[in-house]
Amino acid sequence: MVAVGTIVWLSSELMFFAGLFAVYFQLRSVRPDLWAERVPALNVPFASFNTLVLVVSSIWCQLGVFQAERGHKARSGSLLQVKGWGMREWYVLTYLFGSFFVAGQVMEYSGLVSEGVTLSSDAYGSVFYMATGFHALHVTGGLIAFLLIIARTFTAKRYTHANQMGAVVTSYYWHFVDVVWIALFGTIYLLPLP
């Protein structure tokens, strides 16, 4: 039931982001001159690296899910023995990569503000910060979920099916956030100007 509920909720989130994409493309078609002026301020190499960090975090997350499904909540050996890692270690690594991604977004925002691209500067700034900002909020929500799932591995006496499902549905959310970012990245950073 939890998995189905999560998928239904993610479908509503998909509609939310679809609306943001619609606004982006509408404004872009109406003001191509503004896009031509503002897009060069974007740091595409840095955003590409930050995107890679988020994509790799999804891989770590899935490795954690595999361990959760096997009932391995924590490592069985030394921290340096990666083959013995449980769900907790993979989720901590996912959390660190996700935190790095959000910190990268904040750094990018500060660079854009210094270039004069702000939320209230023009239509480009508004739609850019709305789309990427709401995504960053979703990533932050995922990071909080990871902390809760990791904390459960320390507090649960037995690692039950409910604990495993919590880890799995958190991964659904994280993969969703990852796919949405790939679409945002492709649209905002890579799509050629009209």
Each residue's pLDDT tens digit, 71-81: 898 888 888 88
Each residue's pLDDT tens digit, 115-165: 999 999 999 999 999 999 999 999 999 999 999 999 999 988 787 888 888
Which residues constitute the domain of residue 21? Answer: 2-190
Each residue's pLDDT tens digit, 32-42: 999 999 999 99
Instruction: Give strand ranges (E) for the chain.
Output: none
Here the CATH number for the domain that contains residue 18 is 1.20.120.80
Q: What is the pTM of this model?
A: 0.91
Give the distance from CA 66 to its chain's centroid: 20
Handedness of CA 31, 34, 40, 45 (dihedral sign): negative
Q: Which residue has the tokens 């679409």?
A: 183
- Report yes or no: 3 and 168 within 8 Å, Cβ to Cβ: yes
Neighbours of 64 (CB within 10 A): 30
Predicted confidence at residue 159, as pLDDT, reads 79
Report the number of distinct structural domains present in the chain.
Answer: 1
